[in-house]
Amino acid sequence: MTLEMPTSSQQLGHRITAQRREVRERTFEHALLAAIIGLNPYPNLLTFSLILVGLITLKLMRDVGKRWGFPGTLDPLALVGNLLGGISALVLSGLIWLIVIVIGISFPLVQPFAISAAMFAFVWVAGQATNQYYEVGQLKRLKKQETAIAPPETARPDLSEPAAATSVHAVAALPIEKRSLPKLRRRQLLLAGLATGAALTGGHHYWQQQQLLARQARLSNLARQSPTYIKEYLETAFAGDAKMVADIQNLQKSLIIAPPKVSYEREISKQLILCTRLATEQYLTGTIVENYDGSIKNLPSYEPQLNRYQQLLSIEGPEEATTTKTVKVPENASKLPQDPLREGLDNAENLIEGLAGQAIVLKWLNPVYWGFVLVSPEHSLIVFRGTQRITEWIQNILAQQNNYSELSPFQYIGRVHRGFATIYGSIAKPTIEAVQKLDLKRPIYITGHSLGASIATLAAMDIAMRVPEARNQLRLYTYASPRVGDPIFAQQHSRLVPNSYRVVNVADAIPLAPPTFTGNLSFAHVGQPWTFMNYSGDIAPSHFISTYRQAIDKGLEKVYSHPQA
């Protein structure tokens, strides 16, 4: 095949384009050959395959340079570009190998082709980088030739002048490679070889997997017929339970929980469990009575024994509310119409979550009551309400933990339950502001039932750390409290708030959650345990405030001396 001498700048451009295409096709063929070598199914021949691919890459680089006439006028920038191209080839081939391996986790038949794909990518990127390197050199050489021939008064060489002819002759002088096989037949042979290699490699891998499964099945059948194996299997199964029990006992023994410095006060406990019920009634009243000011004196469970207290304030915080509203949506409307539910809601944050036909789901944050603060000449009470809503139960169940960071809305040490931390974080600021209004020389009792107990536990540590002058006056009484944090949190809580008491109905399932070990997380209780038994035959009644109040009014709770994680 012979090429006519280009005689114009247009022909020069066509010739360079053809040169690029020729190099690209040659690079693709070398990459196919490398992929075929990468299909070698024998791991002990991997080193030999890598050497072959390396030789193929060197030959490709030599061929590319030969196609461009080995131009030598390359600047440092081109050298750096070629070096970066080689590094990119290595990185990309490694990345492709990793991707195929990851895919092979779900589709095992893909794994044998990881090395083949990586070798194809390496040779392809290396060839492209080498082509770019020599092409830059060729173009710089042409530019120098044009500059040397151009007259001094000519600012820009005209490719129609002799300079252009020289450039054209330079490109035309590039060697024309003669190949023994036509391009189409050579490409067909390579693709056929790749397909054959892929089929053989995939079949070999499948055969190996079947052989392995058959061998495992034979061994399993032999093991099942062995009395020794059956005995070991049963011992292993029960050993897992024994290990979990041992781990829990070791965790309990490792906890260094300081005993309270102040004795448990039954009369105070009777008032506190009553106040947890009032906190629930305060919340419920606030959700249905317009302009309710949070006062507890007119609530159904209020008793005269609380007359000596003055309600200093109510603790308010956000609560998510959801409703579905059907509205008329124009067929060609570009945006949703104004929602009538938004009118009259102060401090409401509406979020349109979804649209199905003409129904929209609305969410907003309403201010609600989370508890209250009572003061008397002798002491102060900080009361948090318990779980009342589905979203709060979900927060109770989800066992995830947060580490303290500077962005946390409150202070703590260790890791704490993410759901409890989210809820208390929304009311931490008003809680600390309330404490700062109290007489810090008098005892401060903090209490709550269920979710309120978890919030009270976090509040006690937060107050001890952010209002240190109140630390010695803190008394924490919790009822039916879930586990709140990890062992580090429990130990530090004991150090900062030693006067902590945890009242539990042993028939109540809620204090057993979250489990001591949940995945890679661990949880531990805080406070001195005081227990009683009131089994009702079902989960919910054993957890009710009324059940706890009845037992405490009768003085049934007893201190539990053994540590309980």
Q: Render pLDDT for 65-106 as a digit per residue (tens, 0 to 9).
A: 777 776 554 556 556 666 666 677 777 777 877 787 777 667
Sketch out the chain's domains with CATH numbers.
9-209 (no CATH), 256-317+367-559 (3.40.50.1820)
| Residue 459 CB partners (closer than 8 Å, separation 6+) | 382, 384, 424, 428, 431, 446
Residue 534, amino acid = N
User: Looking at per-residue confidence, does 299 or 4 come out higher?
Assistant: 299
Residue 89 confidence (pLDDT): 72
Average pLDDT value for residue range 121-133: 82
Residue 82, amino acid = N
Residue 92 confidence (pLDDT): 77
Q: Render pLDDT for 407-430 as a digit per residue (tens, 0 to 9).
A: 678 999 999 998 899 899 999 999
Model confidence band, residue 400 (pLDDT cutoffs 50, 70, 90): low
| Residue 483 CB partners (closer than 8 Å, separation 6+) | 417, 511, 513, 514, 516, 523, 524, 525
Model confidence band, residue 560 (pLDDT cutoffs 50, 70, 90): confident
Q: Render pLDDT for 266-292 as a digit per residue (tens, 0 to 9).
A: 999 999 999 999 999 999 999 888 889
Measured CA to CA in angstroms, residue 82 lies from 86, 128, 130, 136 at distances of: 6, 9, 6, 10
Residue 11 confidence (pLDDT): 65
Average pLDDT value for residue range 443-468: 96
pLDDT of residue 394 exceeding 80, the answer is no
Contact 530, 503 (CB under 8 A): yes
* Longest Cα separation, the chain: 115
**Half-sphere CA count of 70, side-chain side, radius 13 A:** 3
User: Which of 298-312, 372-386, 549-563 shows the lowest mean pLDDT across its residues?
Assistant: 549-563
pLDDT of residue 224 exceeding 70, the answer is no
The residues with which 361 forms a beta bridge, in sequence order, are 324, 354
DSSP 8-state class, residue 113 = G
Residue 354 confidence (pLDDT): 39
Mean residue pLDDT of the chain comes to: 77
Read off the pTM: 0.55
Average pLDDT value for residue range 307-319: 92
Query: Tokens standing for 532?
Result: 């009683």
User: Looking at per-residue confidence, does 250 or 169 come out higher?
Assistant: 250
* Cα–Cα dist 511/502, whole Å: 10
Binning the chain into helix, strand and coil, the percentages to the nearest 5 are 55, 15, 30
